[in-house]
Amino acid sequence: MSISVTDVEYVARLARLELGADEKEVFAGQMNAILGYVEKLKGLDTDGVIPTSHAVPMENAFREDLVCAPIGVDKALGNAPQRSGSFFNVPQVIE
């Protein structure tokens, strides 16, 4: 299988990325090379193998449901590109 510029555009849209025309061409070529390389996994029989999402076997990590000191509004909003009062400011959502 092979990745076309149209595929690149589709994936870019999913990833919320805007690519220039040159970038799309380059990425299509590079993604083809990399995905061509990972094709080698298909040759391995993995029937009945349990997928590993995490190297250390672990149960759910619970803690006591205690109230901790909050970070505070000013600190939490300290890096906001735009804020109004105690809110993050974003462009209009519903047009």
Partner 1 sequence: MDTIDMTIHGLHQALESKQLSSVEATKAMLARIEAVEPQVGSFITVTPEQALAGAEAADRRIAAGDMDMLTGIPLALKDIFLTEGIRTTCGSRILDNFIPPYSATSWEKLRDRGAVLLGKLNQDEFAMGSSNESSAFGVCRNPWDTTRIPGGSSGGSAAAIAARQATATLGTDTGGSIRQPASHCGCVGLKPTYGRVSRYGVIAYASSLDQVGPLTRDVTDCAIMLGALAGYDPKDSTSVDLAVPDYVATLPNGVKGLRIGLPREYFIAGLDADVQKAMDAAIETYRRLGAEFVDISLPHTDYAVATYYLIATAEASSNLARYEGVRFGHRSASAEGLIDMMTKSRSEGFGAEVKRRIMLGTYALSSGYYDAYYVKAQKVRTLIMNDFIRAFADVDVMLTPVAPTPAFKIGEKVNDPLQMYLSDIFTIPVNLAGTCAMSLPAGFSADGLPIGVQLIGRPFGEEAILRAGYAFEQATEWHRATASL
Applying CB under 8 A, what is the total number of residues that bind partner 1? 50
In whole angstroms, give the CA distance from residue 86 to residue 71: 13
Region 23-62 residues binding partner 1, contact defined as CB under 8 A: 23, 27, 30-31, 33-35, 37-38, 40-42, 44, 46, 49-56, 58, 61
Residue 18: partners with Cβ closer than 8 Å, 6 or more residues away? 12
Alpha helices in the chain (DSSP H): 5-14, 21-38, 73-76
Does 12 bind partner 1 (CB under 8 A)? Our answer is yes
A 10 A CB-CB count for 77 gives 17
* From 4, 5, 25, 82, residue interacting with partner 1 (rule: CB under 8 A): 82
Alpha carbons 48 and 57: distance in angstroms, whole number:
19
CB 23 → partner 1: shortest distance, Å?
8
Residues making contact with partner 1 (CB under 8 A): 3, 7-8, 11-12, 14-19, 23, 27, 30-31, 33-35, 37-38, 40-42, 44, 46, 49-56, 58, 61, 63, 71, 75-76, 78-82, 88, 90-93, 95
